[in-house]
Structure 1
Amino acid sequence: MYYNYYPHRVDQVFAEINGGPLAPEINGFVTFQQVYNGTMVCAQIEGLPPYQAGQGDGRPIGPHGFHLHENGSCQIGDQQNPFQEAGEHWNPTDQPHGNHAGDFPVLFSNNGFAYICFFTNKFLPTDVIGKAIIIHQSPDDYRTQPAGDAGKRLACGVIQGR
């Protein structure tokens, strides 16, 4: 089956991703397509920082945490800690971290580029309109509560429908 994951279709739900002050070169799209028993999520992102190993007790840069957040706001706010108005991970069924509907796989930077598609049965595309997608500086550990210790928020996009 062919999945059209570009936001040009009338029935698409998508977010345009833009980098904030910590990584202004990030841009791309995330699309949500209803499929049998759930949703196919596809992302095409450019301008990601390359992987850098953590120094001492510091977190690495990349692979990049990739999450669905509860509020549809990409207001920058604090330049050093942007996109806080997006709130926490979207978690409509009150699950522990690692099993939130908003917990997505990490993005691996390949010379700044990442492309990923995955299936989820935790929501339908219409359920996420008005939420935000956030790309983080560090990987999600999928266990630290409540949000996985993924570090600073580098890029954001508000999900909309057409």
Structure 2
Amino acid sequence: MAKAYAAIKGGPLAPNINGGVYFMDVPGGTHVCVMVNGLPSYKPATANSQPIGPHGFHIHEFGNCTVGDPKDPFKAVGNHWNPTKQPHGNHAGDFPVLFSNAGTSMMCFFTNKFKVRDIIGKSVVIHENPDDYRTQPAGNSGKKLACGVIREM
């Protein structure tokens, strides 16, 4: 049974984020579990700003969590991972949003869109804003707060 893990670390916009994402092959797909701490608290949208949280959560194309521009970090991860060229909301890398509960989020879910071998070397990213699952190509989920490279266990 294949397993993988991504150690999540916050970047300059949310340096307190840390945690991990586990991936495990199961019949018909992959079981995914995330546990992170240090997430920013929810702030509703205003006329001039997007909300902060719930947080978009995705697999991105490349396993490069280099910060780069501290005001717009982690650009080297590329786009959402989308091997079957689906419209947004149905990308293989589209995950449920993360809710911050006093900075912590824990969640497990099943996906039939990939097996562990398909995602080794890609990255997991936590975004500032909730994913709307319809805006193309990336769901209007805002800046990247944290990143981790997926590695085989």
TM-score range, shorter chain: over 0.9
Query: Of residues 40, 45, 49 in structure 1, which corresponds to 2:36?
Result: 45
Query: Of residues 89, 100, 108 in structure 1, which corresponds to 2:80?
Result: 89
Cα offsets for 1:94-117 (capped at 9, x unmatched): 000000001000000000000010
Q: TM-score, normalised by structure 1?
A: 0.93
Distance in 1 of aligned mates of 2:29 and 2:111: 6
The CA deviation at 1:12 is 2.5
Cα offsets for 1:20-53 (capped at 9, x unmatched): 0000000001010111100000000000000001
Matched, 1:100 2:91: yes
The CA deviation at 1:57 is 4.1
Matched, 1:22 2:13: yes
Matched, 1:54 2:45: yes
Aligned partner of 2:104 in structure 1 is: 113
Matched, 1:158 2:152: no
Cα offsets for 1:65-102 (capped at 9, x unmatched): 00000000000000000000000000000000000001
Paired positions, count: 153
Aligned partner of 1:71 in structure 2 is: 62
Pairwise CA RMSD of aligned residues? 1.0
Distance in 2 of aligned mates of 1:12 and 1:100: 21
- List gaps (5 residues or longer) in structure 1: 1-9
Distance in 2 of aligned mates of 1:57 and 1:20: 24
Amino acid at match of 2:146: A
Cα offsets for 1:116-157 (capped at 9, x unmatched): 101000000111000000000000000000000000000000
Distance in 1 of aligned mates of 2:20 and 2:32: 11
Structure 1 stretches of 4+ with a deviation exceeding 4 A read none
Query: Of residues 80, 87, 96 in structure 1, which corresponds to 2:71?
Result: 80
- List gaps (5 residues or longer) in structure 2: none
Q: TM-score, normalised by structure 2?
A: 0.98
